Structure 1
């Protein structure tokens, strides 16, 4: 039960962190464009894109999104592995601490 909970927590945390990173990168791309010129910007190894194009009637067309999902998937997997490792290390250290406290008669 605990191992499945660790896996679920790691996957959920990795998904949330990946979404936050993607949104933050898109916001940086949006605010790094000049207002007057057409722009086509890509970030995070080409996975996220933001482009603006001035229309004939004077309005600006904006396109933003995921162009190549592979770097985002790699980020998700790396984060899931890291979060799993962190949780397993924490649990092992907690058990070790409890065992040391029991040896000293403090627990």
Structure 2
């Protein structure tokens, strides 16, 4: 039960952190385009793109999205591994601390 909760929490955390990362990168792509500067910009290993073009008459068209989801999967996997490793390390440290506390209480 405990391992499944750890797995589900890490999956959910990885999904949320990956979405936040993708959103922040898309915002950076949008705001890094200067006035009168048109074209396509890609980020996150070519996964995300932002494209702006002149539609004529002082109208600018903009599109953004996912070009290739491979980079997002890589980020998701890396975040998942880091979350699992950090939670396991925290669990082991808590067990070690409680063992030390129990040993100190039995000795003194």
2:8 matches 1:8: yes
Q: Distance in 1 between matches of 2:88 and 2:63?
A: 41
Q: TM-score, normalised by structure 1?
A: 0.93
- Alignment partner, residue 28 of structure 1: 28
- Alignment partner, residue 42 of structure 1: 42
Q: Distance in 1 between matches of 2:23 and 2:38?
A: 22
2:75 matches 1:82: no
Q: Distance in 2 between matches of 1:38 and 1:5?
A: 47
Post-superposition CA distance 1:35-72 (Å, at most 9, x none): 21322111111111001011134311100011111011
SS in 2 for 1:105: helix
Structure 1, unpaired ranges of 5+ = none
2:81 matches 1:56: no
SS in 2 for 1:80: helix
Query: What RMSD in Å do the two structures reach over aligned CA positions?
Result: 1.2
Q: TM-score, normalised by structure 2?
A: 0.92
Structure 2, unpaired ranges of 5+ = none
